Amino acid sequence: MYGSSHDGGGTARPAHPRKRVTAPLLRDRKGNAAITMVTAYDFTMARILDESGVDMLLVGDSLGMVVQGADTTIPVTLDEVSYHTRAVARGARYAHVVADMPFMSFQLSSAQALENAGKLMKEGMAHSVKLEGGVEIAEHVERITRAGIPVVGHVGLTPQSFHALGGFKVQGKSEEAARRILEDALALEQAGAFTIVLEAVPPDVAAEVTRALTVPTIGIGAGPECDGQVLVCYDLFGMSLGHRPKFAKAFAELGEAMQVATKQYIDDVRSGAFPAAEHCYAESSKAAPSAPRTKRGARKLAAV
Ligand code: KIV
């Protein structure tokens, strides 16, 4: 909370048997307990998700849309991802923190990809990086993993290719398109990716890719057969206003609850009910209490 220490004003954290989730541990989860990944963009959200037990926190370039209000993820910069990743990493005691490599931060060459992946590890304090694309970026993935940086792949709907794909559309609907997704996923696995995100593909295609890979798949709009699932945090909490994609199940309706709370705050400030005596520090040691500056202040002092 703003104005108090990070430990909530002195409340001790419970002793916890959890250990840091690492890339090798995640790779070994194939076929075992389903992996849970949620996006996060700041310290407070990261801490809530981390303490709830989520395995992976993804600092997605979706931040361009849900934090910055852009129409696509394309404008997001490396520095922006790095900044948000650093905040998330500070809130992640156990979860594995993945930093998304934004558009044009890795496509130019393997050297560019490695340099920028390195920045996200050094400056963003990420534990791994995620790259969108398949066969065409496999050499970059290999170069990054050879340098000791774990890589998450991302195939199917790759939002950085929004304009080439003609929008946010389900991918892999034809036999040929499904085969290409499988080839892309296999190329990433071969290049060293330790897990692969499958976005917006039919469930049977995701199931086939999941069966074909030795590394786990993490689905978003890809059905139940993936080895794990990922959601954008604001979707999970029901905080996204407007259109909700089919796959984005809201596990709470915090957006509505926040609006109710905000309206109550406005009413209470206007009526003088907030701040009440319990929200005020002790009076100063000056001899005479100063005269209330407002009518609402006078009412409250009379009530104390
Ligand atoms: O940027 C992002 O949040 C993502 C997930 C939706 C997988 O790539």
Catalytic residue selected from 199, 225, 253, 256 = 199
pLDDT tens-digit series, residues 246-262: 999 999 999 999 999 99
Residue 291 scores a pLDDT above 90: no
Please state the atom number of ligand 1 nearest to the C-alpha of residue 100: 1
Domains of the chain by residue range: 23-236, 257-303
Determine the pLDDT at residue 286.
Answer: 77
Residue 10 scores a pLDDT above 50: no
Distance 232 CA to ligand 1 centre (A): 7
Determine the pLDDT at residue 202.
Answer: 98
Q: Higher pLDDT residue, 39 or 18?
A: 39
Residue 171 scores a pLDDT above 80: yes
Q: Select the CATH number that applies to the domain covering 23-236 from these four: 3.20.20.70, 3.40.50.10320, 3.20.20.60, 3.40.30.10.
A: 3.20.20.60
Give the mutation target among 35, 68, 100, 131 for probing the ligand 1 site: most ligand atoms within 8 A of CB.
Answer: 100
HEC sequence for 90-102 = HHCCCCEEEEECC
Determine the pLDDT at residue 9.
Answer: 44
Determine the pLDDT at residue 2.
Answer: 73
Q: Higher pLDDT residue, 100 or 299?
A: 100
Residue 199 scores a pLDDT above 50: yes
pLDDT tens-digit series, residues 205-224: 999 999 999 999 999 999 99
Band (pLDDT 50/70/90 cuts) for residue 8 is very low
This prediction has a pTM of 0.91
Return mean pLDDT, the chain.
93
pLDDT tens-digit series, residues 33-69: 999 999 999 999 999 999 999 999 999 999 999 999 9
Average pLDDT over every residue of 11-25: 79
Determine the pLDDT at residue 118.
Answer: 98
Please state the atom number of ligand 1 nearest to the C-alpha of residue 218: 7
Distances (CA, A) of 42 to 15, 87, 148: 24, 5, 26
Active site residue 199: yes
Band (pLDDT 50/70/90 cuts) for residue 149 is very high
pLDDT tens-digit series, residues 117-145: 999 999 999 999 999 999 999 999 999 99
